[in-house]
Structure 1
Amino acid sequence: MPTDERVSHREAGRATGDLASARDDARAQGTSVSDWMAYLPASSSPYPPAGVDPAELTWAETVAPGGYTHRRVARGTRIRFEDLTGEACAHVVVLNALAPWERLNVADTQKIPWQAYLGTDHPLLSGDGRVLATVLGDTSGHHDAFCGTSTDAWNQQRYGDAAPQGPTPSGRARLTLAAAKHGLAPRDLPPSVSFFQGVRVAADGAFDWLGSAGPGTSVDLLAELPLIVLVANVPHPLDPRPDYVVGPLRVHAWRSRPTGPDDARFEASPERRRAYLNSLDYATAAGL
């Protein structure tokens, strides 16, 4: 970089040349806020879901376009994703927080309920036959359990760049960063499901792109076991638009209760009943 383009911290108005100055500079920024910061405590969120006591919130943030988030949540936690502008695309992976080698299995998630399209009451299953989470509410209906998320190679081809900290990061790169926060490696990441940008299978087997249902829609997940939740908010790989288009994703979570035998979805089919019984048996044995 040419000398005349270099700007020191002092020249920029931030003196950090010694320990005391660096400390003072850091503390001076302590009140700075960003639209993409998590609300701490979660009860301080200015956007609590209607009918939810803010004191019950355990997670609240807005994920930036192209950003990611992650959280470990307790069994019985209800997580709401909201598409504020109609442009969000939440690529989601869930793993058993007690044994993260048990993770989302997209094939079983489609097979056990005999339904490939995600919607209200759809269970998200692991390869061990247990329900990790349930889609408890859905006002969008535009989702995908076929395509997974974008990769670096895909984004290089589409946008010319896929650097995790660049303007067009891939979903795989974002989920890898989220997973690393929990000691997980890329090999621990299964294919994801995505919410808010829909795909349907045409008669000839090709994928039809549905796009969004519009702004203001939401999806609720119910954690049936303690979960690690990984989320990348990036464009769907089949989005036909040439530009990297994605909007903010709002997340709130609060204490609720897991699915039990008294819930209609527990007995919706013999296959679902067995999967919920497997989760209940695991939770009981673990003292949850």
Structure 2
Amino acid sequence: MATATTHGARAHARAQEGTRAEAMPVVPAADWPAPPCEAGHLVWAETVAGGNYTHKVLARGTELRLTDLRGDACAHLLLHVADRPWERLNTADTVKVQWNAYLGEGRLLLSDQGRVLASVVTDTSGRHDALCGTSTLVRNTERYGDGSPQSASPAGRELLKLAALKNGLEPRDLPPSLSFFQGVSVDEDGALDFTGSAGPGTSVTLRAEQDLTVLIANVPHPLDPRTDYTSSPLEVLAWRAAPTRRGDPLWDATPEGRRAFLNTAEHLAARGLA
């Protein structure tokens, strides 16, 4: 189809309607072929290519499932309270408050206000990282020759900046991120050991405990030793559900977690949101 004229370009563009690429958002999300939830409850369905990013505002109670389709995805995640972006994910508090540097099922993702932003509902990977953050422009330029967003080896922080700008946030609003699907462990001498992926098809499901702005960059982990920029597609699905409430085993799993849920509940109640 000729695209040299405006009419030809329009006809060509319209002919693409309904085409599915390997990595793209599906709109409406309900058209996703096999939703993991009750029909009609899916609110986000997207496959994020390696070296790309995505973002979405999710309502409290929404469950978000990330899946490493081929074993080389690495989801670098940031969370901000949707209408209060100064309350955001704090990886240091997430680790120290829960006395554990390793993410997994039953862990909570905390803000610096002592409140729960999201909880980890299920996890079949077990290879995650709360210590290293994401890659930077300088580091990727040193390793791969370029780290700019439009390059073949974009840095995670550069992509998260773009996602942030599309939600009214600035670079100074970006704290250290969490990484899912590429693990790091700490040796007895304090050295960090890259443990890599658990393999294709593993997933982690998060539950939003407040209204959240979610930013995700799918790029190689900064400690990945491979010389090539290696990043495979990440599946992102979200559906309507309910937040964690009193009586849920997760609420009372630890004294620290219970306090964080109580802080969250008090804050939401004072604002008439719960």
**Contact preservation (8 Å) 1:109, 1:126:** yes
1:210 counterpart = 2:195:
yes
**Contact preservation (8 Å) 1:44, 1:54:** no
Partner of 2:206: 221
For 1:108-136, what per-residue CA distance to the aligned partner results, in whole angstroms no more than 9, with x for missing partners?
Answer: 00011111100101000000110000111
Amino acid at match of 2:3: R
Partner of 1:40: 27
SS across alignment from 2:40: helix
- Give the TM-score normalised by structure 1: 0.91
Partner of 1:13: 2
Partner of 2:91: 106
Unaligned runs of 5+ in 1: 1-11
Report 1:230-245 matches (<5 A): 230-245=215-230
1:141 counterpart = 2:141:
no
1:187 counterpart = 2:176:
no
Unaligned runs of 5+ in 2: none
Amino acid at match of 2:40: A
Shift of 1:35: 1.9
Shift of 1:24: 3.7
Partner of 1:89: 74
Shift of 1:25: 4.1
Larger gyration radius, structure 1 or structure 2: 1
Please give the alpha-carbon distance, in whole angstroms, between the structure 2 residues aligned to 1:177 and 1:47. 30
1:268 to 253, 268, 271: 253
Q: Deviation above 4 Å: which 4+ runs of structure 1?
A: none
| Structure 1 vs Structure 2 CA RMSD | 1.3
Please give the alpha-carbon distance, in whole angstroms, between the structure 2 residues aligned to 1:261 and 1:112. 20
1:28 to 11, 15, 25: 15
Amino acid at match of 2:54: T
SS across alignment from 1:14: coil
For 1:66-120, what per-residue CA distance to the aligned partner results, in whole angstroms no more than 9, with x for missing partners?
Answer: 1100000000000000011111100000110020110000010001111110010
1:163 to 127, 142, 148: 148
Partner of 1:286: 271
Matched pairs, number: 273
Identity of aligned residues (%): 57
Report 1:251-266 matches (<5 A): 251-266=236-251
For 1:6-27, what per-residue CA distance to the aligned partner results, in whole angstroms no more than 9, with x for missing partners?
Answer: xxxxxx83123x5x55544433
- Give the TM-score normalised by structure 2: 0.96
**Contact preservation (8 Å) 2:97, 2:256:** yes
1:178 to 163, 166, 184: 163
